A = this chain, B = another copy of it.
Amino acid sequence: MHVNNRKEEKMYLEKINQPADVRNLNKEQLEALAAEMRTALLNKLSKHGGHFGPNFGMVEAIIALHYVFDSPKDKMVYDVSHQSYCHKMLTGRKDAFLYEEKYDDVSGYSNPEESEHDFFNIGHTSTSVSLACGLAKSRDLKGEKENIIAIIGDGSLSGGEALEGLDFAPELKSNMIIVVNDNDMSIAENHGGMYQNLKLLRDTEGKAECNLFKAMGLDYLFVKEGNDVEKLIEAFQKVKDINHPIVVHICTQKGKGYALAEEHKEQWHWCMPFDKETGKSTVSFDGEDYGSMTAEFLMKKMKEDKTLVGITSATPTVFGFTEDKRKEAGSQFVDVGIAEEHAVALASGIAANGGNPVYGVYSTFIQRTYDQLSQDLCINNNPATILVFAASVYGMNDVTHLGIYDIPMMSNIPNLVYLAPTTKEEYLAMIEWSISQKEHPVAIRVPGGAVISDGKTVTKDFGKLNQYEVTQKGNKVAILALGTFYSLGQEVAKEIAKETGVQPTLINPMYITGTDDKLLEELKAEHQVVITLEDGVLDGGFGEKISRFYGASDMKVLNYGLKKEFIDRYDVNEVLKENRLTKEQIVEDTMKLC
């Protein structure tokens, strides 16, 4: 795969300024283009990190799509954008893959602000078929004729929205092409009964009568050689301008063209910067992380409680369940595949029958479960535990993966106890409490940023709900510093003491879902200002509840958190400053009220 002559490496890719340029190449040239694209991917990803496996497997398919279809008139929608890198290379954005200084010119996801060839910002899975159905419906209403193509990976198929979309598509009764990229892998291995059917279809070269897609009412075409550009062109030409919805099931090899990625598919789904020769990460993390800590803790508990069961929706390592740990946990670990809604309902069902479920999930993906949290879990008040990771401005910073909305999304659902630990010790104590109680559905907002450990033994009974902890008694100013922002609260407290000579009160609220009315009432006696700090958007969040509490009183309240807006590829420090979330700004504001 490595081509020695660097000039030659870019013989074709360098000249692709638009999809039409792809159509001028012959078969050999298209294959050379594929090799160049892989080299570019390898170079960029080794320095920059990103989604590796999905893009390497789809090089030929993307070339063939642009060879056959006429983008942007014909419209392609890439599910979860996992296969969008190659699409970007062929739609005027090659420089962002060829030249290191331009790597950051494009996002890792499809993005209409970048190009007329992208129709949506997409970052969550399982949405492409439904979005493409919308494009197609609109086309039909307008009496137009273009092709609409959804490209979806096998792993994304298990998500409810994708299945709803597949079921609906036949109702369109008009052109709609659904390319199913079957690489026999989700992020981790695939889970779910439908993967047996995909295997059957692969084994029979699409000929098996029992066919998930046909059962959904869709026409079907099987393409065995999903990494053969000629075969793919042939297949796509066959379905171009078709007058009804069809699934084109292509079999590709995840990570194709990079031996290590072909072998270790899960590991190479996404990568940090790495050494191209050895595949070893060039970025090293020192110290503890909340993920590994969680798995270790739960593994220990699983031995004592055979009904304790870890649940993931296709991202087991978010809470430290690497392959070896999953094996060790055996039936006490369940990967439901990409199916967050099912995960929450499953947890509720397990708890209802006396089991002890712990669901580990990213903040951005728990968004997919509002109704399950409300209806399946909280109305039934079942004692499941949900661990919410990357719920922080310090989490992922792509617009589609923000971890700053879980507080408004979850905390206003009745019965849920949503906790915000500030240290490792509190975090583990909260899990311990949650898995030992049978009264409440509990979610824990795992702190963002580096692990903070103070070595303190936590003896608090979390079952006495909504009792905040006063960690420093003072007067005049009280600071309610929630979760990750507790350390910011400490700094602010220090600074205020320095500036005014008066020690403020510092409070670790711990409970996001309720107010400590007694404490808040007591604060009135010796405080004039209450400051709230939270690591998330202000709207619908924690601080507003405190403002409401003091609405009719003389207490002045300052709420700090993030503005309600979609931010993309941001610099944390800039965002904090824009939201007046620096120590200096907070102290400045406070001084005005003192």
Contacts and interface: CB of A to CB of B under 8 A. Distances in A.
B209 A209 contact: yes
Contacts of A130: 341-342, 345-346, 349, 372, 376
From A132, A137, A159, A218, residue with most partner B Cβ within 10 Å: A137
Contacts of A350: 134-135, 137-138, 141
Contacts of A160: 159-161, 163-164, 341
A123 interface: yes
Contacts of A556: 551-553
When all copies of this chain in the complex are counted, the total is 2
Contact of A353 (B138, B345, B376): B138
A370 B369 CA distance: 8
A373 B331 CA distance: 35
A485 interface: no
A166 B193 contact: yes
A150 B394 CA distance: 42
Contact of A217 (B196, B307, B371, B378): B196
A543 B370 CA distance: 22
Contact of A158 (B167, B376, B552, B566): B167
Interface residues of A, number: 119
A397 interface: no
Interface in A532-565: 537-541, 543-545, 547-548, 550-553, 556-559, 564-565
Interface in A351-404: 351-355, 357, 367-372, 374-376, 378-380, 399-400
A559 B548 CA distance: 7
A264 interface: no
Interface stretch (A228-236, A319-327, A409-417): A409-417
Given A539-B545, A559-B548, A127 B372 contact: yes
A158 B169 contact: no
Contacts of A211: 210, 215
A274 interface: no
Given A160-B161, A164-B336, A210-B215, 19 more contacts: A134-B351, A134-B353, A134-B355, A138-B349, A140-B331, A158-B167, A158-B168, A160-B160, A161-B345, A161-B372, A166-B193, A167-B193, A168-B346, A170-B196, A171-B336, A367-B371, A411-B539, A540-B544, A547-B551
Interface in A496-522: none
Contacts of A347: 134
Interface of A: 75, 112, 119-124, 127, 130-142, 158-161, 163-171, 191-197, 209-212, 214-218, 306-307, 309, 331-332, 334, 336-337, 339, 341-342, 345-355, 357, 367-372, 374-376, 378-380, 399-400, 405, 408-409, 411-415, 537-541, 543-545, 547-548, 550-553, 556-559, 564-566, 589, 593
Contacts of A136: 349
From A163, A334, A350, A409, residue with most partner B Cβ within 10 Å: A163
21 contacts: A127-B372, A127-B376, A133-B349, A134-B352, A134-B353, A136-B349, A158-B167, A166-B193, A167-B194, A168-B337, A171-B192, A192-B217, A209-B209, A210-B211, A210-B214, A367-B370, A367-B375, A415-B566, A540-B540, A544-B547, A548-B559
Contacts of A212: 212, 215-216
A135 B544 contact: no
Contact of A412 (B194, B196, B217, B564): B564
Contact of A121 (B195, B216, B380, B400): B380
Contact of A210 (B210, B345, B374, B544): B210
A391 to B, nearest CB: 15
B135 A349 contact: yes
Contacts of A168: 158, 191-193, 336-337, 339, 342, 346
A166 B216 CA distance: 14
Contact of A552 (B165, B217, B557): B557
Given A137-B309, A193-B169, A142 B215 contact: no
A369 B400 CA distance: 16
Contacts of A138: 307, 349-355
B163 A163 contact: yes
A217 B197 contact: yes
B191 A217 contact: no
